[in-house]
Amino acid sequence: MNNYENILTTFQNGITTITINRPTKLNALNKLTIKELHNAFEVANTDKNTKVIMVTGSGDKAFVAGADISEFADFDVKKGSKLAKKGQELVFNFVEDLSTPVIAAINGFALGGGLELAMACHFRVASDNAKMGLPEVSLGLIPGYGGTQRLPQLIGKGRAMELIMTASMIDANKALNYGLVNHVTTQDELLPFCESIATKITHNSSVAISAAIKSINANFKDGVDGFDIEIKAFGKSFGTEDFIEGTTAFLQKRKANFPGK
Ligand code: COA
């Protein structure tokens, strides 16, 4: 499935960029977009040449303005539960657990499922026009794509409670101040800036980075001892070709050229 209807993918210099492309609907996540996103993330993650994945929205107005509300019209309890479960499996938990780093380039509104997608990514950069929030309670719903879990992880419980209860939006600078995004740029600079971070990442060991993602994520998984995961992953690193190359290059005072194995 590479002929997508609602997303675009490009590849350059080790970076795959996935662009959600429904600008007239502010890139809202309908069923098909969720399916296509799953496929595109899976393809990029298994592509040996892709060292970093970036995700952004098309147009200059929105990253993603949420789940597609027009699909909710005939929903009941069963359909609602299925939507959240399937979505979390296919995209949100899936993205968080990818072994390839994923950067969200938030280029405008990131609301509801849009902010939830950005929060499932490994880190976030926003342009100065971005607005973020989880406004579901204004629709009589709650966030269903992991928002009640990831927002408090990222900004703290009290701030998450307030943002969710008030259904309000915060701007890019407040998001920076809250630690929800790592950097704020102008709109024009957003993608080049994300690419410059991604390029730095591509120079490092992809095997070690995957192990680091897994160990960091373990900190947030119930019933998992993150320290134990880290010890095992640290030990395993010594058995990789990347370790041999990294240490040899250091001792030979040259830049490492990691085989990614
Ligand atoms: N689902 C479906 N369609 C959406 C959407 C969503 N989450 N967000 C925006 N759209 C559509 C609008 O219906 C409109 O379509 P139309 O031109 O066919 O009527 C189009 O995108 C443009 O949006 P519009 O509301 O006209 O833009 P705006 O600049 O006036 O307002 C927002 C922008 C983001 C404030 C507003 O679109 C909004 O509140 N969206 C919903 C956000 C939300 O509650 N998300 C959580 C969903 S669970």
> Is the CB of 64 inside a 6 Å radius of any atom of ligand 1?
no
Q: Where are the alpha helices (DSSP H) in the chain?
A: 31-46, 77-87, 93-96, 113-120, 147-155, 157-166, 172-178, 190-202, 206-218, 226-237, 241-251
**Residue 8 predicted with pLDDT over 70:** yes
To test the ligand 1 pocket, which listed residue (25, 68, 145) has its Cβ within 8 A of the most ligand atoms? 25
pLDDT for res 238:
98
pLDDT for res 173:
98
> Is the CB of 67 inside a 6 Å radius of any atom of ligand 1?
yes
pLDDT averaged over every residue in the chain: 97
Taking CA atoms only, the protein residue closest to ligand 1 atom 20 is: 25
- Rounded to whole angstroms, the Cα distance separating 89 from 13 reads 29
Is 0.85 surpassed by the pTM of this model?
A: yes
> Is the CB of 87 inside a 6 Å radius of any atom of ligand 1?
no
Q: How far apart are the first and last CA of the chain?
A: 28
Counting other chains too, the contacts that 172-175 makes at CB distance below 8 Å and 24 or more residues apart are 172/106, 172/126, 172/127, 172/128, 172/129, 172/130, 172/131, 172/132, 173/128, 175/126, 175/130, 175/132
